Amino acid sequence: MYLCDIHSHTKISPDSKAELLDNARAAINAGLREFCVSDHHDLLDYDGFPAAPFDWPAALKQYRTAKEALGDKLILRLGLELGSAPYDPHAAREALAQGGEELDFVLGSLHNWIGFHNNDLLDMTSYRGDGPLARRAMESTLDHTWTLVTQMPDCYDSLAHISYPLRYIRNDGIYLSMADYEERVRAIFTEIARTDHAMEVNVWTGRDLDSWPPLLAWFRECGGRLITVGADAHRPEDVAKGIPEALDMLKAAGFDHVTTYERRKPVLHKL
Ligand SMILES: [Zn+2]
Ligand SMILES: [Zn+2]
């Protein structure tokens, strides 16, 4: 089994204090062959304001230093979790261009409710007990995901955590499921497959394993072939948490390979 975790954060992200080298050492201890740092660059910040440019000089320096220190003990990749690209396509493309040749991997994500306060969907105080509002949050995510996959395929390699708002909506006691949006999700998956992009199985440090089996089945039925896996760790102790389970789920769903990225090209590894 090819153990890889290609979604993780360091102190370059606003919500992490981790050092890349500590994360990478944790990856080695967890038996990973390949690990990717994918710090946040959300075009909208947590409160919904346009964000400052990504700190590429710091990210590149950290990556190069860690790579040098690790030698051949671990395949370390440089990624970016690009959030809310449809909010400002020009800024999104600019940020990716600045990553230069060393950029291996781009996760396309949507954390914000674009067009409605623009704030992070994690802010569930605004949904408390309000089912219709929670449904609108989910629909907004699907609308903007559709824009990303149909109009901005150059702005992502793998679609990150498609069920992101449900994490928080569930916490708030409102039961919504991806099954309520099956037709729209299948349309998104069909487009991902048609354009040879990947879907991410994001296990959220082992906290979200149950969402994925039905989504993997739909993705496969829609012609999807490329799957990336990520624990989404924001601290060393969470690196690779849930990854072996994710790879087992891929196998059970009939996939033969897990995908990683090098210089934004997919590399398939037999499970
Ligand atoms: Zn994310
Ligand atoms: Zn993340």
Q: Give residue 227 CA to ligand 2 midpoint distance, Å.
A: 16
- Is 5 in contact with 231 (CB distance < 8 Å)? yes
Q: Give residue 231 CA to ligand 1 midpoint distance, Å.
A: 10
Domain covering 4-270: architecture? Alpha-Beta Barrel (3.20)
Q: Is 143 helix (H, G, I), strand (E, B) or coil?
A: helix
How large is the average pLDDT for residues 68-96?
Answer: 97
Burial of 167 from C-beta contacts in 10 A (0-12 / 13-18 / 19+) = middle
Q: Give residue 113 CA to ligand 1 midpoint distance, Å.
A: 13
CA angle (43, 38, 215) in 5-degree steps:
90
Can you give the pLDDT at residue 70? 97
Q: Which residue has the tokens 């944790």?
A: 26
Ligand closest to CA 232: 2
Query: Comparing C-alpha atoms, which of 152, 39, 148 is closest to residue 103?
Result: 39
Least-confidence region, from 77-91, 129-143, 152-166, 199-213 = 129-143
Q: What is the pTM assigned to this prediction?
A: 0.96
Q: Does residue 123 register a pLDDT over 70?
A: no
Q: Give residue 254 CA to ligand 1 midpoint distance, Å.
A: 26
Extents of the domains making up the chain = 4-270
Higher pLDDT, 120 or 270: 270
Rg (CA), the chain: 17
Q: Give residue 109 CA to ligand 2 midpoint distance, Å.
A: 8
Q: Does residue 124 register a pLDDT over 60?
A: no
Q: Cα–Cα distance between 120 and 42 in angstroms, integer?
A: 10
Residue pLDDT, tens place only, 127-142: 566 777 888 888 999 9
How large is the average pLDDT for residues 76-80?
Answer: 98
Can you give the pLDDT at residue 247? 98
Ligand closest to CA 167: 1
Ligand closest to CA 13: 2
Q: Cα–Cα distance between 112 and 165 in angstroms, integer?
A: 9
Give me the amino acid identity at 138.
Answer: M
